[in-house]
Amino acid sequence: MRWSLHLILPFLTFNFLQLNGQENWEVPEERQGRLSPFEFSDSIQQQGSIHYSVNCASCHGTPGQGNFERLDPLPVDPATAEFQENTDGEIFYKVSEGRGLMPSFKNVLSAQEIWEVVGYLRTYNADYVQEVRPTAELSAYGGTVELLMAHLTDQNKIQVVAKGTRHGETQPIEAAEVALRVKRYFGDLQLDETKFTNPQGIVEFDAPQELPGDESGHLELTAHLVNQEMFGITQVDTTLAVGQAFVPVSLTRDRAMWNVVQKAPIWLLLAYTLSVLIAWGIIFYILFQIKKIFDIGAELESKS
Amino acid sequence: MSEESNNKVPDNRNQNEGRKSRRDFLKNVGLFGAATAAGAGAIYSGYKYEQNKGSSEMVRVLTEDNRLVMIPRDQIQTVTLDQDALQKRGREGLEGHRWVMVIDLAKCRNARKCVDACQSAHHLRPHEYHITTLVMKDAPNTAPYFMPKPCQHCDNPPCVSVCPVNATFKRQDGIVLIDNERCIGCRFCISACPYSARMFHWQEPVMADTYEEEQPDYDVELNVPQRKGTISKCLFSADLVRVGQLPYCVTACPNGVFYFGDENQDAVTNGTTKETVRLSQLLKQNAGYRLMPELGTKPRVYYLPPKNRLFDAPDEDMTGTQIQETV
Amino acid sequence: MYKYTDTSITDNPKLDKIAKDLLQPVGLNIRFHIWMGLLTLGLMACLYAYWIQLNEGLIVTGLRDHVSWGMYLANFVFFVAASLIGMLISGILGLLGQEWIKPIARIAEIIAVAFAAVAGMVIVSDMGRPDRLPYVFMYGRIQSPILWDVTVVTTYMVISLLLWFIPMIPDMAIAKSRMDHCPKWLSFVYNILSLKWTHHPEQYKILFKATRILFILVVPTAFAIHTVTSWLFAVNPRAGWDSTIFGPYFLTGAFVAGSAGLIMAMYFFRNNYRLKAYITTEHFNKMGKLLFLTGLIYLYFNINEYIVPGYKLKTADAIHLKELLTGHFAPLFWSVQIGGLIIPLILLLFKRFRQPGILTIIAVFVFIASWFKRYLIVVPTMEHPYLPKQFLPQEWMLYQPTLIETAITIAPFILVLMIITVLSKLFPVVPIWEMAELGEQHEAHETHPIDESSLSDETDIKSHSDE
């Protein structure tokens, strides 16, 4: 048991820090006051409860039942007053970003779905009165927004240009946050950090040279503007030859002991076949000899 | 001996042979349809197209070998995949991919949700494991940790080498599958596997009665229906992977332990947060390793060491376990 | 082309007595029927156990996911091992020109045929889906040692059958004319199996040539059969099996088991078939020396197999050895090693322990120990996998054979006894013509039945050594 003390000491310290941290889970100020764009109706809350049971209940348990996992730090029961003190924006932020044991759900649930979860959790707060985000805030950019993407071959950079058309006039959009993603089998991989456009509406990303693409290095790229509340869903999909040319090789291509018979090692095929042929060749030769014994006897019999 | 001879495999559900023989015959006829649909059918439809040019709208369809082709809408015939077609595609695997799993030991708290999800998807009893978690302890003075252990889907699989009838096999995308319509139950593969990753149906599988009633087609990528007297094992959820979804265990984990993805694309996706990251960077930054590399099995499962753990180390007196020093 | 019929052997004055002695136990008497009836009853009980296993699945055995190979596999290895005695006697000693083996060579071949034939059935009892046995031939992967084993066991069984049958052809001819009292169907069988044998020198020539070729062929085949059987284990990366000497280790172990089995059979036939004049105390003396020699070589391989890993104590090997030497396998391990190998070796040094009775008792110990030795090779390794066994019911942790499993393990022994009984009651167990010939050589070399000049290359089989 000597090791256990060594083990426990750092853990105690670690836990202490964690607990401390939990009390001070600071949500950035601009996110605290964020509000749901829609009203938490019964059907919305119903949806939220489904998301909760799939994604949250395994640790947090059923709200109000106290049947959460005994983890360290303890997961918070969302029905408690302590939890309900969070603003809508704070809950949204914490679910979305995660911290420590709490996974981030921003890639799992859409913004709409996270709001549905918030709505569901508010059913455990009798005093809650929802404040809905004013509709005026929804479309801050009055006009159509367009993104263009190109490969600057000389600098080997991917250039994304954001343009807005307002009142028949097209002009670059400055200081818009752009994320660049590349399509992978189970989800999109974000390349680099998000970047902000310059006054010409341009943002440049390094080409992911070492990221495998198809046979000629083509990657399916998606650039989109992060601030959906400002610009709506704006994205551009392009296939550019910016990655590494990659020719996939079948794992079953070569001869191996574990492969199918047709791809068995040559030496084994030869050794096995030859051994069997030789042994059974001799056996049939012997059977032939036995027949000869019989033939001799038969001949002698017919003579006598 | 050849793969094509699959077609001749007699359907081997011994209890119902008499009842099913006509069904099998129809199945084999169905197979002919399915097998020729991609090849001969394409030529035929090309010919028909020339005849009916302009008479029908063209639609784009994805063929079995993942090619996008155009055929006239009135040429489309719906083919349901029968058992032999399922076998064929199951044995080939997905072209151009190499599936890989990364397990982050720092995040595992032995919730065993992966085990539950796997067992319910593959119709297993509580002690029949495709994946299980183990309490590991590397040395007397190091801390124990939890380790989820699926099949390692080795690139030099000792279990596949020893199979006498090609019942267990490795596909081009790296997945090691078991065909329980072929398995003779010799259990050589269990002996050969250094990771104790395989299980055997010592008795009728838990859902045997349901199979009896419903007579489901056998999908080699799901290994359902399970069969008494045959081997079963982790399949990397080949059925889900085929349709672009993460394996059952990976999605079920509440703690973000599992990453799954394609080594050829250098990307793995976390089953809990659905965040996609670069495989090479994940392994480099976290000092990823593989189990028992000295055996030369070349697993497709990587582990990230249990450093900066988010959970307490397991107790040594965990119920139902015997903590053993690992080797 | 064949101008005369050689009658020297049929004219041999000693032949009458030898044929009378050796044919006298042949025939199906009441004791045979009672004995076979008892064996059949026992077999039925065991088959009932197997029927249960077929219906319920292998759950009725003590096998589980970790120890998935147990008594059945140990039994299979033992059966293959016991069958190798045919090759040791006919193949190796025969090629070395040892004349003393002649009266016991056929017994050795009967043992070889019986054990090799049943070994195939033993392995079927271990299969989860025995109905799919044909798949091994339909979809066989030649990379699997199981396929090599199937191939080589079949080949060995056929060669052993030929080695039993071919030297018996002249006896069939002798027997058919001398067994007036035997049932009609048996005479008919003899007539067919005698293949119109007329003791013609040309026929002898072919017979010697065929057996000599088979003697040479049986040696590599028998080496292959047991080496391949050892590879069923040695190809797996597991502590206790991961050994480069497994082939010779198994092979020498097989000679020990086979020699012990042959001694037991010799003792039985000598006393029950009244063959004391043919299977003499000198034969037991020589078999005792053979058992000592094979046992000594086996001991040498044991030393290699345990001391080399014991010196390094690699983690998994250390756990394995600890379980064997001091753990819960220790009582069995030390009984087998001391009672079944070391004490017999010491005793066999003294001539008085190579007398028929006492030698047979030693052989029984060695034979039983040989079976448990295979158990100790198969089970402990599977009980200690590299990764811990956890979250399993307690009874899955350690292997405990069940009653049904034991019955299914006993069944093959009953089958072997049945085959040996049938073969030894229908046909003479000691070659008549070879005995006549040996006796004749003692008297006058020049009246040899065979035209010596035509057999110049067979001289070492036919060498006239006087024992």
The residue among C439, C107, C26, C30 whose CA lies nearest residue C273 is C26
Name the nearest CA neighbour of A203 among A176, A242, A182, A184.
A176
Alpha carbons within 13 angstroms on the beta-carbon side of residue B52 total: 15
> C58, C402 in Cβ contact below 8 A?
no
Q: Is the pLDDT of residue B31 over 80?
A: no
Identity of the residue numbered B32:
F
CA nearest to C345, candidates C249, C282, C260: C260
Binary contact (C195, A294; C-beta < 8 A): yes
Contacts of B236 (CB under 8 A, 6+ apart): B99, B101, B150, B151, B153, B175, B247, B260
Residues counted in chain A: 304
Q: DSSP string covering B243-306, please?
A: TT---HHHHH-SS--EEEEEGGGTEEEETTT--EEEHHHHHHHTT-B-S-GGG----SEEEE--
Averaged pLDDT of chain C? 90
C342 touches chain A (CB under 8 A): no
d(CA A53, CA A41): 19
Tokens representing residue C402 in the block? 């069940």
Residue-wise pLDDT tens digits, B34-66: 444 444 444 554 455 455 545 567 777 766 666
Q: What is the DSSP letter of A131?
A: -
Interface check C129 vs B, CB under 8 A: yes
Q: Which residue has the tokens 């001949």?
A: A299
Radius of gyration of chain A (CA): 35
Residues of C in contact with B231 (CB under 8 A): 128
The SS3 call for residue B177 is strand
pLDDT, residue B65, reads 63
pLDDT at A71 (0 to 100): 78
Contact C225, C156 (CB under 8 A): yes
The mean-pLDDT minimum among A165-174, B103-112, C243-252, C375-384 falls in A165-174
Instruction: Output the six-digit token pair for A156.
Output: 């080997």
Q: How many residues make up chain C in this entry?
A: 467
pLDDT classification of C74: cutoffs 50, 70, 90: very high
d(Cα C315, Cα C318) in Å, to the nearest integer? 5
Cβ-Cβ contacts under 8 Å, C143 against chain A: 257-259, 261, 264-265, 268
B 83-142 → C contacts, CB under 8 A: 127, 129, 132-136
Is-contact B152 B134, C-beta < 8 A? no
Closest partner CB to B161 (pick from A252, A258, A261): A258
CB atoms under 10 Å from CB of B319, counted, come to 6
- CA angle, corner B66, sides to B63 and B68, nearest 5? 65
Question: Nearest Cα to B258, choosing from B142, B180, B149, B119?
Answer: B149
B326 touches chain C (CB under 8 A): yes
List chain B residues with CB under 8 Å of C232: 188, 191
Q: What is the pLDDT of residue C442?
A: 59
For residue C77, which of C197, C251, C259 has the smallest C-alpha distance? Answer: C251
In DSSP notation, A174-202 reads PS-EEEEEEEETTEEEEEEEEEE--TTSE
Domain boundaries, chain B: 3-88, 98-325
Identity of the residue numbered A295: D
Helix %, strand %, coil % for chain B, to 5? 35, 20, 50
Q: A262 touching C, CB under 8 A? A: no
Query: C59 to chain B: nearest residue by CA?
Result: B202
- C58: nearest CB among B14, B149, B202: B202
Structure tokens at C323: 């379980």
Contact of C5 with chain A, judged by CB distance below 8 Å, is answered with yes
pLDDT of residue B29: 46
> Mutation test of the interface with chain A: which of B65, B310, B315, choosing the one with the most A Cβ atoms within 10 A?
B310
Evaluate whether B299 touches C387 at the Cβ level (below 8 Å): no
Residues of B within 8 A of A187 (CB-CB) are 269, 274-276
Which residues in chain A are closer than 8 Å to C221, comparing Cβ atoms?
279
Backbone angles phi and psi of A93, in degrees to 5: -65, -45
Please state, in angstroms and rounded to a whole number, the distance separating the CA atoms of residues A71 and A69. 6
Task: Say whether A144 sits in a helix, a strand or coil.
Answer: strand
pLDDT tens digits along B139-153: 888 889 999 999 999
Q: Do C143 and A264 touch (CB under 8 A)?
A: yes
Query: What is the predicted ipTM?
Result: 0.88
Chain B residues with CB inside 8 Å of A246's CB? Answer: 264
Residues 6+ apart with CB under 8 A from C85: C108, C111, C112, C254, C255, C257, C258, C259, C261, C262
- What type of residue sits at position A110? S
The CA angle B148-B153-B158, to the nearest 5 degrees, is 115
Please check whether residue A260 touches C, CB under 8 A.
Answer: yes
- Out of B135, B163, B320, whose CB is closest to C141? B163
Say if residue B13's pLDDT is above 90. no
Does the beta-carbon distance from C140 to B1 stay under 8 Å?
yes
Confidence of residue B312 (pLDDT cuts 50, 70, 90): confident
Write down the pLDDT at residue C460: 40
The shortest C-alpha distance from B254 to chain A (Å) reads: 7
Single-letter residue type at B40: A
| Nearest of B111, B149, B132 to residue B254 by alpha carbon | B111
**Chain A, window 138-167: residues with a beta carbon less than 8 angstroms from a chain B beta carbon:** none
The pLDDT, as a whole number, for residue C397 is 87
pLDDT at B62: 67
d(CA B119, CA C98): 64
Give how far C30 is from chain A: nearest CA, Å: 35
Task: Say if residue A243 is exposed, middle or buried (CB neighbours under 10 Å; 0-12, 13-18, 19+).
Answer: buried
> Which parts of chain B fold into alpha helices (H)?
17-38, 40-51, 83-92, 113-121, 158-162, 188-192, 208-214, 238-242, 248-252, 279-285
State how beta strands B258-262 and B267-270 pair: antiparallel
Under an 8 A CB cutoff, do C397 and B199 touch?
no
- Distance to chain C for A270, nearest Cα, Å: 11
* DSSP character string of C363-408: HHHHHHHHHHHHHHHHHHHHHS-SS---SS-GGGTS----HHHHHH
Which of B194, A263, B183 lies closest to C142, judged by CA? A263
Whether the CA torsion B290, B291, B292, B296 is positive or negative: it is negative
CATH 3.40.50.970 fits C8-446, yes or no: no
Phi, psi angles (nearest 5°) of residue A230? -85, -45
Lowest mean pLDDT among C16-20, C50-54, C360-364: C16-20
Residue B172 with chain A: CB contacts under 8 Å: 250-253
Higher per-residue pLDDT: B88 or A274: A274
- Number of C-beta neighbours around residue A9 at 10 A: 10
Quote the Cα angle for C397-C400-C404, to 5°: 135
Q: What whole-number distance in Å separates Cα of residue C85 and Cα of residue C71? A: 22
Cβ-based contacts of C214 with chain A (< 8 Å): 286
Confidence of residue C68 (pLDDT cuts 50, 70, 90): very high
Fold of B98-325: Alpha-Beta Plaits (3.30.70)
Substitution target from C54, C66, C67, C68 for chain B, most B beta carbons within 10 A: C68
Mind listing the pLDDT tens digit for each residue in C322-331?
999 999 999 9
| CB contact B56 to C (< 8 Å) | no
**Residue B96: its chain A contacts at CB < 8 A?**
248
Predicted confidence (pLDDT) per residue in C12-31, tens digit? 777 888 888 888 888 888 99
Predicted confidence at residue A31, as pLDDT, reads: 82
SS3 B101: strand
**CA nearest B265 in A: which residue?**
A212
A172's CB contacts (< 8 A; 6+ apart) are A161, A162, A163, A164, A197, A199, A200, A201, A202
The region that residue A192 occupies, defined by phi over 0 for left and psi between -120 and 50 for alpha, beta otherwise, is left
Residue B135, strand partner residues? B146
Contact C58, C311 (CB under 8 A): no
Within an 8 Å CB–CB cutoff, is residue B198 touching chain C?
yes
pLDDT of residue A215: 92
Q: Report the distance separating Cα B92 and Cα A277, nearest Å.
A: 33
Is the preceding peptide bond at A73 cis, omega within 30 degrees of 0? yes
With a cut of 50, list the residues of chain A below it in pLDDT.
1-22, 137-138
B175: closest chain A residue by CA: A251
Short-list B327, B323, B326, B300, CA closest to B110:
B323
Angle among Cα B5, B6, B8 to the nearest 5 degrees reads: 70
Give A-chain residues touching B256 at CB under 8 angstroms: 103
Note whether C436 and C447 are within 8 A (CB). Answer: no
Burial zone of C76 (CB within 10 Å; 0-12 exposed, 13-18 middle, 19+ buried)? buried
Q: Which of B243, B68, B261, B265 is nearest to A219 (CA)?
A: B265
- Where in chain C are the domains? 8-446
pLDDT in tens, C189-229: 999 999 999 888 999 999 999 999 999 999 999 999 999 99
- Tell me which of B190, B195, B298 to substitute to probe the interface with C (most C C-beta atoms closer than 10 Å): B190
Interface test with A, best of B272, B277, B325 (most A CBs within 10 A): B272
